[in-house]
């Protein structure tokens, strides 16, 4: 009976070890495939809607989802005129400004974000709710809808790694001059990174609309897997950008890679600012790092640790089981 139990335990341990080795790969594959599928479906649907609207001879406006576009445009004008006063309410970040399904869209996905430096396609949803943040990027309420134009700043928040999904985990690799695109049901907007910042979580001024400018801001937690600061990537519209494929964008990133530390402006609670050098190397944290992060928390950290160490952890576990089995077998013979 003891021998049978030992064999069962050994096989279970081997299965656990194999699972440890396979889990990160499977998890990354599934989450990446899900995000990519959402983006591809959105982009294809946007193209089809544009074609249908253009071919409709009875339509006064050939722009797809014309009513939604007009409503978003009016919203952008309204929040700028009001000085984005609603940002003082923390719930403004989470509350979507529009019900997109009422305008004919299938869900609350408003755009597709492409960050070539990170080889990252990310669906963008309205409102930074827990559900939306788990699915991709979230457009913060009381910031500009993704239409571009003067006096706009579209602010998108995403986790810095979440349950096997990379998201903005390696945001520190983004450098000045990098290209970022935002595809909406109407067009693809191209931006170039112009500034990198680290701010306090309650620093609303850092994400406000800047008069006359057309901006896109990405925000995520900093330090990695913690929630004490925010890392901002600020990009400005590139009106002269030519359409490019993902492969062309990736080739551009490879040719422009700068291994030097990023010069990041760090704004302190007392209002002072200093420049900090942030290394661009990929991060491989230990499981106890970032235990203060609200969303994702320790489980997310374990997932990140597994991604970097699962192969060795699995091999060690299997080797330990085999070694124990050999020792017990020899002990019985003696």
Active site residues: 159, 221
C-alpha 125/C-alpha 109 separation (Å) is: 4
| Residues 6 or more apart whose Cβ sits within 8 Å of residue 299 | 163
| Residues 6 or more apart whose Cβ sits within 8 Å of residue 318 | 13, 14, 17, 18
Would you tell me how many other CB atoms lie within 10 Å of the CB of residue 4? 8
Angle at 211 between CA 205 and CA 214, to 5 degrees: 95
C-alpha 101/C-alpha 254 separation (Å) is: 39
Which residues are paired to 237 by β-bridges? 191
Which residue, 139, 136, 135, 113, is CA-closest to 126?
A: 139
């Amino acid at each position: 009976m003891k021998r049978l139990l030992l064999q069962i335990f050994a096989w279970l341990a081997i299965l656990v070890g194999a699972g440890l080795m396979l889990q990160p790969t499977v998890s990354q594959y599934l989450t990446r495939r899900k995000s990519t599928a959402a983006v591809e479906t959105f982009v294809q649907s946007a193209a089809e809607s544009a074609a249908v609207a253009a071919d409709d001879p009875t339509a006064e406006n050939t722009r797809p989802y014309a009513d939604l576009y007009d409503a978003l445009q009016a919203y952008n004008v309204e929040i700028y005129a009001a000085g984005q006063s609603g940002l003082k309410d923390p719930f403004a970040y989470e509350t979507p400004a529009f019900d997109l399904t009422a305008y004919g869209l299938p869900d609350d996905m408003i755009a597709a974000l492409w960050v070539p430096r990170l080889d990252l396609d990310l669906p963008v949803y309205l409102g930074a709710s827990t559900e939306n943040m788990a699915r991709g990027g979230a457009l913060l309420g009381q910031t500009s809808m993704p239409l571009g134009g003067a006096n706009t700043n579209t602010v998108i928040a995403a986790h810095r790694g979440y349950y096997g999904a990379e998201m903005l985990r390696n945001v520190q690799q983004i450098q000045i001059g990098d290209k970022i695109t935002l595809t909406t049901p109407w067009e693809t907007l191209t931006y170039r990174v112009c500034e990198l910042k680290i701010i306090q979580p309650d620093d609303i001024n850092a994400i406000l609309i800047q008069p006359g400018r057309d901006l896109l801001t990405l925000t995520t937690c900093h330090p990695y897997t913690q929630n004490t600061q925010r890392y901002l990537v600020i990009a400005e519209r590139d009106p002269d950008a030519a359409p490019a494929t993902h492969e062309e964008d990736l080739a551009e990133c490879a040719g422009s890679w700068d291994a030097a530390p990023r010069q990041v402006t760090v704004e302190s609670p007392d209002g002072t600012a200093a420049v900090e050098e942030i290394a661009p190397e990929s991060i491989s944290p230990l499981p106890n790092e970032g235990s203060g992060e609200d969303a994702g928390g320790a489980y997310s950290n374990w997932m990140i640790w597994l991604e970097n160490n699962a192969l060795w952890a699995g091999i060690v576990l299997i080797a330990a089981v085999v070694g124990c089995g050999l020792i017990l077998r020899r002990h019985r013979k003696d």
